[in-house]
Structure 1
Amino acid sequence: MPEILVGAWESAQPGSNTTLAYRFTGDGRYAYAGVLTYPRSEQKDDFYLLKTTAVGKVDIDGQQLTLRPSSASTTRKDPRFPGDDYTDRPEPLTPKNFTWAVADEVLTLTGEDDLQFVFLRAAS
């Protein structure tokens, strides 16, 4: 694992309702959390929540980064449709491939579909 990748990374744009975070370890493991929230009404606890987590191994080959999850799950809570909610539903353990680059404490992951994700180094 390149030392420059080791640590915590977070993507949270001002005004966004989504936060994505990765933690990479020196021995080639990763943890991921993605959270989407938005209010459903003016009531205090009336929020839609979609949370995805994954852990696994990272393979690096030059600028190619492959995430190989060993576990992954999603939780959904929607106060408008509680009958459709679920907690820790297992997700497919499909590897994800990215091209990666780090410059000035900013990590860019570009997916095979050319979608880019930008992360700032977070305090560990």
Structure 2
Amino acid sequence: MTHQSSLPSNTRNKLVLRRTRKRFSPKVFIDRTIETTAIISLLITGFSGVGAIACWGMEIIETNANSNIIISGWQQQKNICLGAMLVSCSAFLGTALVGASFSVQRDKF
């Protein structure tokens, strides 16, 4: 005596699930890394720009309040934010160049 399922035969065949393993694709990994780096560098550029503008405003307020200050802490913070903007903007341009070269290489122009 064999055990028969109460389901019809066509439904039994549909219930067989196959698990496939995802393969590691270096191309997908590189593309996602480039995309993530570009997005993060743009965000850092924007936030550093806002920080530089805020520090510039605080520097003006501090200078108008007390004219005896030669170099304020806000000026140094502004320069740090501007430097971070420059670095992150160049990182964005670099990732855009690398991403474009990979896409041209894949298309085989």
Q: Would you say same fold, with TM above 0.5?
A: no
TM-score range, shorter chain: under 0.3
TM-score w.r.t. the length of structure 2 is 0.17
TM-score w.r.t. the length of structure 1 is 0.16
Between 1 and 2, higher relative CO (CA 8 Å, sep ≥ 6) is seen in: 2
Where is the helix percentage greater, Structure 1 or Structure 2? 2
Where is the strand percentage greater, Structure 1 or Structure 2? 1
Task: Please tell me whether Structure 1 or Structure 2 has the larger radius of gyration of its CA atoms.
Answer: 2
